[in-house]
Amino acid sequence: MRSHLASVLELRFHSLQNAACVKSDDLNSSISSRRSSSVYEARPGVVFSFVSIPNKLSGIGLAAYEVGEKTHTVIQPGRVVKDFVNFPDVAPTFMEVAGEAAHPQMTGKSFLDALQSPRSGQIDPARTYALLGKERHDTGRVSEDGTDLAYPVRAIRTKEFLYVHNIKPDLWPTGNPEYGLRNCDGSPTKSYLTGLAPSDADYRYYEMCFGKRPEEELYQRDKDRHCINNLAANPESAAAKTRLRAQMEQDLTDQKDPRTLGQGDIFDQYPYMGKQFNYNQKK
């Protein structure tokens, strides 16, 4: 790893990925403390470093909140780029670096211009928001006919707001409690929260992590970084909520998202390729 990477550029990748921002005088030692990392050198001076960390609670990795939606990358020293970049944008960027046209199936847009620009701040004036989405992340919800059910979410993130549409709020976001909340990895924190009784003072944290969520959520990100104060029912936020949902649904319609087009149950029909959970034996 080149020594000039000791300084870190934060390029904001907004996606449902788990990652940590490497901020260290010794990049190698910082990466070695993480679970896994991948580094790609596309051309001299353009280096990508994606660093993965474990996800433990429902707000991380499998939900459209701050820690779950953001991936930081190490690019080059001396700049901080504020453009919103979605994970599907990575593939067409690599294709452009290689001198190839993006495949027709790729829905993202190359951000090579942001990498090559010497400037900080907003490089592409069109990159002012990002779409987020979630479907079936793990087993743990089941219909009467035995079908594993997704917990579908669509969201849009801007500099100021995060709007979340929980499409089936009657379902449990991290899986049913009777099946062990399987969409959240085991950890001491999970064990503590699931051992609480409703009368315990900390039970509100259990509900925040594992309880059912309202159909709509709206957070003013510049004032509520941890997405605690839901403004969706606030009349003063109605205009912002309407504008964000309209933008999100228009983009998803243009992308032919099955869920937005009323065909979302197809996501529940795809065969599950991991270890199949036995709902009768609960294991």
Q: Facing residues of 155 across strands?
A: 132, 164
pLDDT at 139: 77
pLDDT at 154: 94
pLDDT at 50: 39
Asked if residues 152 and 165 have their Cβ atoms less than 8 Å apart, the reply is no
Phi-psi region of 121 (alpha: psi -120 to 50; beta: other; left: phi over 0): left
pLDDT at 100: 93
Indicate the pairing of strand 46-52 with strand 36-43. antiparallel
- Tens digits of residue pLDDT in 44-84: 444 444 333 322 233 334 566 765 556 666 566 778 888 88
CA dihedral (40, 43, 44, 50) in degrees, to 10, reads -20
* Residue 17 reports pLDDT greater than 70: no
> CA 267 to CA 157: how far, in whole Å?
23
- Tens digits of residue pLDDT in 177-195: 998 998 888 899 999 999 9
pLDDT at 261: 95
Indicate the pairing of strand 11-14 with strand 81-85. parallel
Q: How much is the average pLDDT of 81-110? A: 90
Query: Of 29-33, 97-101, 154-158, 246-250, which gets the smallest average pLDDT?
Result: 29-33
- Tens digits of residue pLDDT in 258-276: 999 999 989 888 887 777 7
Q: Which domains does the chain have, with CATH numbers?
A: 3-127 (no CATH), 132-173+212-269 (3.30.1120)
Q: How far apart are the first and last CA of the chain?
A: 43
Residue at 266: amino acid letter: I
* Residue 42 reports pLDDT greater than 50: no
Tell me how many helices (H) and strands (E) the chain has: 8, 9
The structure tokens 């594993």 sit at: 148
Predicted confidence band of residue 220 (pLDDT cuts 50, 70, 90): very high
pLDDT at 205: 92
